[in-house]
Amino acid sequence: MTLVDVRDLVKHYAGGRSWFGLGRAQPPVRAVDGVSFTVPAGRTLGLVGESGSGKTTVGRTMLRLQEPTSGKVVFDGNDVFALDAGRLRALRRRMQVVFQDPYSSLNPRMTVEATLREPLDIHGLTGAVSALLEEVGLDAAFAKRYPHELSGGQRQRVGIARALSVEPQFIVCDEPVSALDVSVQAQVLNLLADLQARRRLTYLFIAHDLAVVRHIADEVAVMYLGKIVERAPAAEIYAQPRHPYTHALLSAVPEPNPRAAKQRIVLPGDIPSPAHPPPGCPFHPRCPHPLKSERCRTEPPPLREITPGHTAACHYAEKPM
């Protein structure tokens, strides 16, 4: 059963003006430019891409932490963008977020107990703080501590406990382990997987590291310059990527066995400005595909199904790299 249905989501930011506001208005920044996907109940969709690809904006706009330009998000039959403030507040019990930086997402003046008690009071719920801490692997004694007294991994566990306190169904995990040490990353990923199995949670897991997403996602969607350029079941996208951008990202994943390591693909230049996207395929200025042609420079490729359940936005997706 589909729990979350995102349809043609668009988020543009107004362009600024040069010359102290006196010059010509700049074009809008196309942070998210027509993104669609579904997330079945109890499953995890990994949303990956470089910094600036728009993946965090997707998560924040879905939850209406910022308002969309256009599009629709349907959560369990509810049109999220059509809800008034009262109904949106009630729905937010069921849709939560775990932020990237566990320190800046916690109030430094509040103890762990006050942090976890606050959402319970807002929504009129009862619950034991000690039980929440135990569920995320922390001792009850942590309730009296402040954020600066905790390690990065402990702070992120508190952030996860805060999200769990209102008993949500869907959690946006916005790069929840990118600020943590590698050993702690594994612990937090295992915790998220255990919580998903225990509570039947649904995740949108946002990350730039495909190696991290591999351990938790059932499906993977790859974003580039505000658009999804490839989506497939996790096992298939790692075994046979169809888009050259996905191929390049996978080549950068560290391989513990040097003999099995793939040749690294170094993409030229940086991701283009979302205020001035290139014509045709947005990836063509950096594309290493040997069949790249004039068609790529002039004709935007549609996101199409290459094999059952595997879609890619590349004119030459059927051809091997």
How far apart CA 233 and CA 193 sit, in angstroms, is: 17
Q: What type of residue sits at position 1?
A: M
Q: What is the pLDDT of residue 20?
A: 61
Token digits for 279?
A: 């014509």
| CATH number, domain containing residue 61 | 3.40.50.300
Host domain of residue 221: 2-17+27-94+168-312
Cα distances (Å, whole numbers) of residue 65 to 96, 120, 138, 248: 11, 20, 29, 32
Do the Cβ atoms of 204 and 59 come closer than 8 Å? yes
Do the Cβ atoms of 162 and 127 come closer than 8 Å? no
Could you give the maximum distance between any two Cα atoms of the chain, in Å?
A: 64
Domain count, the chain: 1
Do the Cβ atoms of 243 and 314 come closer than 8 Å? yes
Does residue 113 form part of some domain? no
Q: What is the pLDDT of residue 252?
A: 81
Q: What is the three-class DSSP state of 319? A: coil
Does residue 265 form part of some domain? yes
Q: What is the pLDDT of residue 71?
A: 97
Q: Rounded to an integer, what is the distance from CA 243 to the centroid of its chain?
A: 19
Q: What is the pLDDT of residue 127?
A: 82
How far apart CA 79 and CA 104 sit, in angstroms, is: 30
Q: What type of residue sits at position 73?
A: V
What is the Cβ-side half-sphere exposure of residue 311, based on CA atoms within 13 angstroms? 18
Does residue 155 form part of some domain? no
The C-alpha torsion from 316 through 45 and 264 to 304, rounded to 10°, is 0
Phi, psi (deg, nearest 5) at residue 270: -115, 170
Spatial CA neighbour of 54 closest among 145, 174, 199: 174
Does residue 301 form part of some domain? yes
How far apart CA 182 and CA 185 sit, in angstroms, is: 5
Does residue 187 form part of some domain? yes
Q: What is the pLDDT of residue 87?
A: 94
Q: What is the three-class DSSP state of 109? A: coil
Element (H, E) at 10: strand 2-13
Q: What is the pLDDT of residue 253?
A: 80
Q: What is the pLDDT of residue 126?
A: 82
Does residue 114 form part of some domain? no
What is the rounded radius of gyration, in angstroms, for the C-alpha atoms of the chain? 21
Q: What is the pLDDT of residue 2?
A: 94
Q: What is the pLDDT of residue 143?
A: 95
Q: What is the pLDDT of residue 164?
A: 96
What is the Cβ-side half-sphere exposure of residue 315, based on CA atoms within 13 angstroms? 19
Q: What is the pLDDT of residue 95?
A: 96
Does residue 90 form part of some domain? yes
Which pairing describes strands 44-48 and 219-224: parallel, antiparallel, or unpaired? parallel
Q: What is the pLDDT of residue 256?
A: 67
DSSP state of 65: S
Does residue 31 form part of some domain? yes
Cα distances (Å, whole numbers) of residue 230 to 105, 114, 267: 31, 42, 18
How far apart CA 311 and CA 302 sit, in angstroms, is: 10
pLDDT tens by residue, the chain, 321 residues? 899 999 999 999 987 666 666 667 788 999 999 999 999 999 999 999 998 899 999 999 999 999 999 999 999 999 999 999 999 999 999 999 999 888 888 999 999 999 999 999 988 888 889 999 999 999 999 999 999 999 999 999 999 999 999 999 999 999 999 888 888 999 999 999 999 999 999 999 999 988 889 889 999 999 999 999 999 999 999 999 999 999 999 988 877 666 655 678 888 888 899 999 999 999 999 999 999 999 999 999 999 999 999 999 999 999 877
